[in-house]
Chains A and B, each alone.
Chain A
Amino acid sequence: MGSCNILVIGAGGLGCELLKNLALMGFQKIHVIDMDVIDLSNLNRQFLFRRADIGSSKAEVAAKFINSRIPGCNVVPHFKKIQDYDEDFYRQFHVVVCGLDSIVARRWMNGMLISMLQYDDDGELEQTSLIPMVDGGTEGFKGNARVILPGISACVECTLDLFPPQVTYPLCTIANTPRLPEHCIEYVKMIQWNKENPFECPIDGDDPNHINWIYEKAQERANQFNILGLSYRLVQGVVKNIIPAVASTNAVIAATCTTEVFKLATSCCLPLNNYMVFNDVDGIYTYSYEAEKKPDCIVCSNKPKTYFVDNGSIKLKQFIEDLCESKDYQMKNPGVTTSIDGKNRTLYMSLVKSIEEKTRDNLNKTFDELGLKSGSQLFIADVTNPNTIILELKYTQTSEMVTD
């Protein structure tokens, strides 16, 4: 275990626990990545931080604390985003443990580890290229832990439907028929802020002046409609999308993850196969089961995925919306390129402003107008994955129905 090199992603609620656990279990070579700095609201559970540390890097303070408390343990901090590193960095680790609150980051890491798999000439997976990923997540008194053997067991993308979509309210409710205090807050956040532009900048949930302004305006709107139950705490919760968190659940989930790392490193017994849920609202409940690998998973199946549409009359805009909304893809800001007659062509890309402007007109064009055919390949880049995903178009209506 002294030689086993572990990467911990996140030095927050789960990360602090993971670092302590791994160090006490005898792991000595640990790296930790976190791009965040310490906030007052972390101190009810992130026990490696003190009041004087507020504003400092989580990774750096956590590493320093562990190294001073546990002799022989060497935690190396990285005050970075995971996207700042490439596979040359990730290849040095034997196990990756994630304690993240971001689904996008989790998916990105999952994609990275799968893209690092190597296969021999017979198509057999080379075991040395496999880095197991142990992943934990918590929300209030609920949590889950899982073990992913990339290429072998279900990956994050295989089980995307486990992540509940974020609660959203229809725009017409927010604008015309508010009933809940949340509707009033969303109204101020989505409509009134842009209209009045009180601080001449986008909303910063950590700026108390911004929260105060939203609170006051939301209260005015709630009063206007006689809506009850608006509070400052609720405003903060909605604006910052706060997930409740307690020390105890983090302790349980991080401990489960650590035991799994220990099993993987020592082979003392079989690792969790492969998903455990935990809930201690009513007694203490746990349930372990095998999440299934999706045979056509866009990330781990190693097969090009087919994208079925009726015909070429679908607009690029609709296609991109589907990538964002369908529960199989749940992408954030996909960029689409293709290859037509051997030449690469960017159809749309939102992240780079100049390209966005140049490709914006394509959004309203149909696949036919863009020169795409059944069998064309689309290359999709998205923040949820470090690599490009290839989708092969397939038109399900017979060809004679499509006029050339």
Chain B
Amino acid sequence: MASPGPKSPEQSEKSKKYDRQLRLWGDHGQSALESCHICLINATGLGTEILKSLVLPGIGGFTIVDGKKITEEDIGANFFLDIDSIGKPRAQVSTQLLLELNPEVKGDYVDEPIEQLLQNNPNFFKNFTVVVAASLPERMLIALSDLLWEADIPFIATRSYGLIGSARLQIKEHTIIETHPDTQNPDLRLDQPFPVLVKHLEDVDLTKMDLKDHTHVPYVVPLYQALQEWKSSHNGDLPKNYKEKEEFRNLLRKGIKMNEDGVQEYEENFEEALKAVNFAIAPTVVPNNVKEILNDYNCINLTSKSKPFWIMAKAVRDFVDNEGEGLLPLRGSLPDMTADSQRYIALQQVYLQEAARCSEIVHRRVRQLLHQLGQPVDAISEADTKLFCKHASSLGVVRGRKISDEYDTKLINTSLLAQGVENSESLIIYYVMFRGIDRFYAEYNHYPGEFGDEHDIVKLKGSIAKLLSEWGCGPLAKDDYIHEIYRYGGAELHSVSAFLGGCVAHEVIKLVTGQYKPVNNTFIYDAITTNTETIDITNLHGIF
């Protein structure tokens, strides 16, 4: 055999099967998914749709809690019940049919009403990574909300009701390293270059190059050099406003090579430099949301129980205050730009090595902190710190509110509710409707219109009027919404459940992988107008 090439990595069956999603959340996201265990309360159409979009991508396992026996109506709205299963436990059949989707997922069920389980064995719910409940009546919702808040387990309550749906996330604190922002400016540090970068950029003499070389210098070089010239004549300031940026661009243009006729050549790297003035010349700062995280109580006051996120955040905070001289660790990536390979790679290496240097310093601090806190010094790996530093400018922390707070008139945001009721564009009206439905259900033990009794319309109006007056809001201007809700009769429309099912499944994936930002905290879907809205109905002043 002649010289053998580098051995191609054999792809495992699993990475082939999950290929399309591994490109999104990576192998580390997948392994987080594979070690989670999700609890679903109520295997309704919506409930099984959520699990479907979690079993397919390969969660570790699920447990269904449902004490109901399957009716004909259930089968019409739920793909994971079959025609032969009428009368059988809903938890059992849906578990079996869901498990067929993915042999790698484990699933079991508890054929017991949720109220019974809550009463006899509340600790049961503390075994899960996330608990999801579909169509949970108010009394159980409040009890479960308190229980899971105390246990610090994320909880999602969701419902699909006629053409309307909602999902409410209850998370005490959720930290995110990889938020995957859609757009992000490159971290080039041209205003505050580190010494190696200064040397690298100043060593290039653009005036001595022929045209071919000149057009193949990464745009960072002419941009930096023009900036030095600008700063020397502007007290060291950057071009600040539009006018100054225009002047700076003219300065930059002077660097473009001329041909024999004194006409400027077309140089793509300079064109790129001119475009980059908009985003690459801004002062490098710690973004406000990251500042908030670094100043967070949990960051400053580490304890022996502090989570890795906060320990790394504290290490970054200390880095900013010391070696970083006010700046975050360098991200270390260089966007693609017109250049020859050698020059581009050399510049890329400059950024990469500085980023590695920053993250090494941060990691030393991480180990020190772990030691001081009495945690094992290898609790956070060097790779963890590196990832954290790379994403330091787009970290996320979400602090949620307890669902049961919404049942306290002092803690619910009544002015937001009042505005929502009056504003015909807002979907907050459906929040009010859902609360009214729950009130109705608690009183009459069925959904308005479920049995076609028109008296329900007046009763529902009464339930909602009582709620609104408790909140100090005016009455509803029109009865349209009441009639609409009555018409739904508590029935689930499958396409509405499927929409919410997809949304809620992805929220679970966000919570489990610690990637992407979850909804905070109430999501409402209106299939009539194809609109959605995210609101926080709790009163912020109640807590901060």
Contact = CB atoms under 8 A, between A and B. Distances in A.
A20 interface: yes
Nearest to A226: B345
A4 to B, nearest CB: 15
Given A232-B8, A232-B9, A24 B76 contact: yes
Interface string B324-355: 00000000000011111110110010001000
B6 A180 contact: no
A241 to B, nearest CB: 12
B251 interface: no
A244 B20 contact: yes
B16 A40 contact: yes
Given A259-B495, A283-B534, A244 B345 contact: no
Contacts of B501: 251, 255
Interface in A247-299: 247-252, 254-256, 258-259, 262, 269, 272, 276, 279-286, 288
Interface string A212-245: 1001110110000111100011001100001111
B496 A20 contact: no
A248 B345 contact: no
Contact of B19 (A242, A252, A259): A242
Interface residues of B, number: 77
A152 B32 CA distance: 48
B56 A225 contact: no
Contacts of B11: 208, 232
Interface string A15-33: 0010011001100000000
B305 interface: no
Contact of A283 (B337, B505, B517, B529): B517
A44 B56 contact: yes
B141 interface: no
A281 B516 contact: yes
A212 to B, nearest CB: 4
A249 B502 CA distance: 6
Contacts of B49: 251
Contact of A69 (B79, B102, B182, B532): B79
Contact of B498 (A69, A176, A217, A254): A254
Contact of A41 (B16, B82, B340, B534): B16
A177 interface: yes
A45 B503 contact: no
A43 interface: yes
Given A141-B24, A284-B532, A246 B506 contact: yes
A71 interface: yes
A153 B348 CA distance: 49
Central interface residue in B8, B496, B498, by most chain A CB within 10 Å:
B498
Interface in A341-387: none
A140 interface: yes
A220 B5 contact: yes
Interface string B6-25: 10110101011111111110
B93 to A, nearest CB: 12
Given A44-B58, A47-B52, A250-B502, A259 B496 contact: yes
Contact of B493 (A25, A51, A70, A211): A25
B109 interface: no
Interface stretch (B116-124, B310-318, B518-526): B518-526
A239 to B, nearest CB: 13
Interface string A389-403: 000000000000000
Nearest to B518: A283
B16 to A, nearest CB: 5
Contact of B495 (A227, A246, A258): A258
B344 A252 contact: no
B6 A248 contact: no
Interface residues of A, number: 70
A180 B352 CA distance: 15
B499 interface: yes
A286 B524 CA distance: 11
Contacts of B499: 251-252, 255-256, 259
Contacts of A286: 530-532
Given A220-B5, A247-B52, A40 B17 contact: yes
A220 B8 contact: no
Contact of B82 (A69, A227, A249, A283): A69
A177 B338 CA distance: 9
B1 interface: no
Contact of A24 (B57, B58, B79, B101): B79
B5 to A, nearest CB: 4
B543 interface: no
A248 B530 contact: no
A255 B502 contact: yes
Contact of B534 (A225, A228, A284): A284
B158 interface: no
B181 interface: yes
B9 A248 contact: no
Nearest to B506: A248
A45 B77 contact: no
Interface string A35-48: 00000110111010
B347 to A, nearest CB: 10
A41 B501 CA distance: 22
B23 A237 contact: yes
Contacts of B506: 141, 246, 248-249, 280
27 contacts: A20-B79, A21-B498, A25-B495, A43-B102, A44-B18, A45-B57, A179-B337, A220-B6, A228-B348, A232-B8, A232-B9, A236-B19, A245-B21, A246-B24, A248-B53, A248-B506, A250-B502, A251-B502, A254-B498, A255-B501, A258-B495, A269-B163, A272-B530, A283-B523, A284-B507, A284-B532, A284-B534
Given A227-B341, A280-B516, 15 more contacts: A25-B493, A44-B19, A177-B339, A179-B341, A212-B8, A243-B20, A246-B53, A247-B53, A248-B505, A249-B506, A251-B52, A259-B163, A282-B181, A283-B517, A286-B532
* 7 tightest A-B CB contacts, nearest first: A251-B502, A216-B5, A255-B498, A252-B502, A255-B499, A258-B495, A248-B506
